[in-house]
C-alpha cells in the first residue's frame, strides 16, 4: 500500500477492513476519486446485527465527499452483501455514509452546518454545487435522524398554535415545547384530528417505563371536550397551553406563553419568506423542524 492510499484511508477514519486501492486525480474535471475495497472477512447483517459471512459484493457505487482543496472528491466502492442464515442476502451499510445516501456523512454534516447560514435550500445548493432535491433530501434525513433520538423526558408545558400555509386559507397546527423553546411537531389543518395527531407525537415518545410518559394523557382522556378545545384555541387566535405532567391536565390562555409563541411565528415567517413560500406541506414541516426543532441533525457517527 502506498503512502498516499494509506493516508487517504486514515483521513476517512476507516478501519483495516477497508483499503484504499487507488486515488486518481483528474485536472481537467477538477476531481479526485478514491477507490475503496472491502478486505474484511465477515460483516454485520443490516437486519438483525448478526455477524455473518459475505455472499458477494454489490455493483459499484459513488459517494460525494468533502472537497480536497478546490477539487470535487468522490468515493467509489462495491458494498459487501451479507449472507445471513435468518435474513438471507442483504446489502450492508458502509461506515462513511447513511443508507441510500449519495453523500458521505462528513459531507452531509458540512452541508447541514452551512444550511442555516445560506437561508434557503437554493442558495445552499448553489454553494455546494448540488441540485435542490439533493440538499432537500439531506435536510429531510437530518430531521428524521434528529426526531429518532429526540429527548422528551423533561417535557412539561406545551403550546398548540396555528400558522397559515400556502396562499388562501390553508393552515397547519404546531406543537411547541414552551420550556425548551422548540417546535415538536407540525401537522396539516387546524381541526380536531390535527390536534390529536400532535398529541400522538408526545404521547408515543419516551421510555415506556418512565413515570412522566405514563402520566401523560391527551385532552380527550382527561375530560376536556375536544370541540370546545379546538374552537377556543383557534377562534380566539391564542395559544393553548397544557401542563401534562400535573395530575390534572388543564388548558389555559397565558399571556406569557402567547409571547413565547410569537417568537416561533417570527422565525417561521422568516423561513417562509426565505423559501418564497411553500406549496408542499411536507417541505414546510421539514424546514420548520430543521430550523426550530433543536434536533441533533449532525450524523452521530461524526458529531463527537
Ligand atoms: Zn440477519
The answer to whether residue 179 sits within a structural domain is: yes
pLDDT at 151: 83
Tell me the pLDDT tens digit for each residue of 70-98. 899 999 999 999 999 999 999 999 999 98
Cβ contacts of residue 63 below 8 Å, gap of 6+? Answer: 74, 75, 94, 96, 97, 101, 102, 103, 104, 107
Q: How much of the chain exceeds pLDDT 70, in percent? A: 77
Q: Would you state the torsion angle of the CA atoms of residues 15, 20, 21, 25, taken in this order, to the nearest 10 degrees?
A: 180
Cell, residue 39: 478486505
User: Quick one: which of 134, 125, 66 has its CA closest to 102?
Assistant: 134
Domain boundary among 45, 64, 96: 96
Tell me the pLDDT tens digit for each residue of 143-160. 998 998 888 877 777 777
For the residues 232-236, what does the mean pLDDT come to?
39
Question: Do 289 and 179 reside in the same domain of the chain?
Answer: yes
- CA-CA distance, 272 to 267, in Å (whole number)? 9
The answer to whether residue 130 sits within a structural domain is: no
User: Quick one: which of 226, 245, 235, 94 has its CA closest to 156?
Assistant: 245
Q: What is the whole-number distance in angstroms between the Cα of residue 88 and the centre of ligand 1?
A: 7
- CA-CA distance, 255 to 182, in Å (whole number)? 18
Q: What is the whole-number distance in angstroms between the Cα of residue 47 and the centre of ligand 1?
A: 5
Residues with CB under 5 A from ligand 1 (ion): 45, 47-48, 84, 86-87
Question: Do 270 and 173 reside in the same domain of the chain?
Answer: yes
In this prediction the pTM is 0.74
pLDDT at 100: 84
pLDDT at 185 over 60: yes
**Residue 74: strand pairing partners:** 33, 64
Tell me the pLDDT tens digit for each residue of 266-285. 888 888 887 777 788 899 99
Question: Do 273 and 199 reside in the same domain of the chain?
Answer: yes
Q: What is the whole-number distance in angstroms between the Cα of residue 42 and the centre of ligand 1?
A: 13
- Look at the chain and report how many structural domains it folds into: 2
Question: Do 92 and 211 reside in the same domain of the chain?
Answer: no
- CA-CA distance, 50 to 196, in Å (whole number)? 39
pLDDT at 262: 64
CA atoms 57, 60, 61, 67: torsion sign = positive
The answer to whether residue 136 sits within a structural domain is: no
Q: What is the whole-number distance in angstroms between the Cα of residue 151 and the centre of ligand 1?
A: 29
Cell, residue 266: 417570527
Cell, residue 59: 455493483
Q: What is the whole-number distance in angstroms between the Cα of residue 145 and the centre of ligand 1?
A: 23
Domain boundary among 48, 77, 96: 96
Domain that holds residue 45: 1-96
Question: Do 173 and 269 reside in the same domain of the chain?
Answer: yes
The answer to whether residue 162 sits within a structural domain is: yes
The answer to whether residue 109 sits within a structural domain is: no
DSSP reduced 3-state for 251: strand
Distance of CA 229 to the CA centre of its chain: 31
279, 166 contact by CB (below 8 A): yes
pLDDT at 225 over 80: no
CA-based Rg of the chain, rounded to a whole angstrom? 24
Q: What are phi and psi of 67, to 5 degrees?
A: -60, 145
Q: What is the whole-number distance in angstroms between the Cα of residue 82 and the centre of ligand 1?
A: 8
Amino acid at each position: 500500500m502506498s503512502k498516499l492510499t494509506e493516508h487517504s484511508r486514515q483521513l476517512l477514519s476507516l478501519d483495516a477492513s477497508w483499503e484504499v486501492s487507488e486515488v486518481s486525480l483528474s485536472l481537467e474535471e477538477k476531481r479526485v476519486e478514491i477507490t475503496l475495497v472491502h478486505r474484511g472477512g465477515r460483516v454485520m447483517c443490516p437486519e438483525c446485527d448478526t455477524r455473518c459471512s459475505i455472499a458477494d459484493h454489490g455493483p459499484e457505487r459513488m459517494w460525494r465527499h468533502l472537497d480536497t482543496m478546490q477539487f470535487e472528491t468522490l468515493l467509489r466502492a462495491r458494498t459487501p452483501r451479507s449472507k445471513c442464515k435468518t435474513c438471507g442476502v442483504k446489502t450492508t451499510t458502509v461506515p462513511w455514509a447513511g443508507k441510500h445516501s449519495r453523500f458521505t456523512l462528513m459531507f452531509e454534516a458540512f452541508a447541514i452546518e452551512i444550511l442555516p447560514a445560506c437561508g434557503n435550500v437554493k442558495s445552499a445548493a448553489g454553494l455546494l454545487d448540488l441540485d435542490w432535491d439533493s440538499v432537500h433530501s439531506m435536510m429531510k434525513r437530518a430531521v428524521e435522524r434528529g426526531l429518532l433520538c429526540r429527548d422528551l423526558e423533561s417535557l412539561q408545558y406545551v403550546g398548540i398554535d396555528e400558522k397559515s400555509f400556502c396562499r388562501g386559507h390553508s393552515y397547519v397546527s404546531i406543537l411547541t415545547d414552551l420550556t425548551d423553546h422548540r417546535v415538536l411537531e407540525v401537522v396539516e389543518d387546524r381541526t380536531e384530528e390535527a390536534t390529536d395527531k400532535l398529541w400522538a407525537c408526545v404521547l408515543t415518545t419516551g421510555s415506556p417505563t418512565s413515570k412522566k410518559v405514563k402520566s401523560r394523557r391527551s385532552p380527550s382522556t382527561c375530560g376536556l371536550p375536544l370541540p370546545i378545545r379546538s374552537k377556543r384555541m383557534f377562534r380566539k387566535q391564542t395559544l393553548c397551553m397544557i401542563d401534562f405532567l400535573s395530575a390534572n391536565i388543564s388548558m389555559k390562555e397565558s399571556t406569557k406563553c402567547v409571547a413565547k409563541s410569537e417568537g416561533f411565528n417570527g422565525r417561521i415567517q422568516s423561513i417562509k419568506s426565505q423559501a418564497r413560500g411553500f406549496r408542499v406541506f411536507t417541505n414546510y414541516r421539514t424546514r420548520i423542524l430543521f430550523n426550530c426543532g433543536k434536533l441533533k441533525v449532525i450524523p452521530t457517527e461524526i458529531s463527537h
